[in-house]
Structures are given as C-alpha cells and as structure tokens.
Amino acid sequence: MPSTTYKFKRAGCPPLHEDKELVKKTLAGRQEAFEMIVQKYQQPLLNYIGRTVGEYELALELTQDVFIKTYSSLHSYRPRYKFSTWLYKIASNYIIDYWRKKKIKAFSIDQQSKEEDSLPPIQVPSQETSIYEKYELSEIKGKIETALEKIPPPLRELFIWRHINECSYQEIAEIKDLPVGTIKNRVFQAKELIRKQMENME
C-alpha cells in the first residue's frame, strides 16, 4: 500500500470522481488514484466509525485500517457493484470484528425477539426528514450524540448509516445483507431508543 499518512479533517466535499475508474488506475499502479478515493471517503467513514466506537483517536486508527484493508482487497472488487457500498461493507465487517475481539455484547440486528415476532411490521414512511435536518439546534444535536452512545451498537450503526451518512435503505440493506424491511424496522427502533434517552435527559 502507498506509504501516505492520511490526516482526517473536516473539509468541503472533494470533486466527484468516477470510483470505478479510480480503482482501475490504482490497480495499474497509480498511487494518486487511491489517494483520491481516500479523500472522497475519509470523512463519511470517520463519521461512521467515530460515532460507532465513540472514541475519536481509535476511530482515526480504525479508519486507516479500513483503507489498508480496502487497498489490499481492490483486486476482488467487481465493477458491476457500487463502489461505496463495497467499501462500506468492508468497514461494517471490520467494526463487527472489532466488537468480537473486544467481546462487546451486541445482539444480531436480523434476530427478532419473540415479542417482536408477535407484532405487525413497523411501517416507516418512504419520505422522511433527516433527524439532523429536523433538529438544528446544537443543544439538541449534543443530546442526540449522547443518546446515540447509549443504544446497542448494531442499532447505533444503522442509525449512523441512515441519518448521519445519509445512505439509502437499499444501500444499507446491501451493506448488511439484510432485507430492506428489516433495515427500516431497526432504524425506527434506533430512533425510538434515542427519543426515549433524550426524554430522560429532560
């Protein structure tokens, strides 16, 4: 992998590049092409990993590890798939492995409880306002961040994909290999848990 040291910082969105072309150039030995991939995806990945693990310095380390894993796996990428989904799937699997190594207790998001099996599917509107668009005050955002740290990691992960990285339900379903309906239900559950946590802060 290129020996570049990646610095993660908040910045404007980099110019859009054709991901598949960048992958092709990287595999041909052009280091600058992979650097463009890093520049494009470093902030979304840092947003996801940082809020998932809850530690900024650790998030920096894990984000760089994900890029290393991505670089070493580029030969297995298939252009018929969306590159961002493929990359996020690597990140998601990496975080799951991290949880397992740390023995963090987390239930499987595709495993329903007996109580849930007895309930009708949750109906989630197809058009919804991002929770970050709905609540613009910094105080509320702070409460959301605090509440986010207190919900189960698998639900936290889905909430981050949906409401912070603004992935579509379909893309999240592809990342997690789960039905879209399951993803919608779990995101709804995450929002409800966050809402209850915020109510307890009042």
Please give the radius of gyration of the chain, using alpha carbons only, rounded to the nearest integer: 18
Shared-domain flag, residues 128 and 87: no
Q: Is 64 inside a domain boundary?
A: yes
Which CATH number fits the domain that encloses residue 63?
1.10.1740.10
Q: Is 108 inside a domain boundary?
A: no
Q: Which residues contact 69 (CB under 8 A, 6 or more apart)?
A: 90, 94
Q: Is 145 inside a domain boundary?
A: yes
Shared-domain flag, residues 156 and 89: no
| pLDDT given at position 6 | 37
Shared-domain flag, residues 97 and 125: no
Which residue type does 188 have? F
Query: 162: burial class by Cβ within 10 Å (0-12, 13-18, 19+)?
Result: buried
> How many domains in the chain?
2
Q: Is 67 inside a domain boundary?
A: yes
CA 152/CA 156 separation, integer angstroms: 6
Mean pLDDT by 10 residues, the chain (202 residues): 41 54 92 92 89 86 93 91 91 87 55 39 45 58 82 89 88 92 93 86 70
Which CATH number fits the domain that encloses residue 186?
1.10.10.10
Q: Which residues contact 33 (CB under 8 A, 6 or more apart)?
A: 22, 23, 25, 26
The domain boundary residue, chosen from 101, 135, 165: 101
Shared-domain flag, residues 84 and 121: no
The domain boundary residue, chosen from 43, 69, 101: 101
Shared-domain flag, residues 191 and 132: yes
Q: Is 6 inside a domain boundary?
A: no
The domain boundary residue, chosen from 66, 101, 136: 101
Based on DSSP, count helices (H) and strands (E) in the chain, helices before strands. Answer: 10, 0
Q: Which residues constitute the domain of residue 55?
A: 19-101
Q: What is the pTM of this model?
A: 0.66
3-state secondary structure 99-121: HHHCCCCCCCCCCCCHHHHCCCC
Shared-domain flag, residues 79 and 29: yes
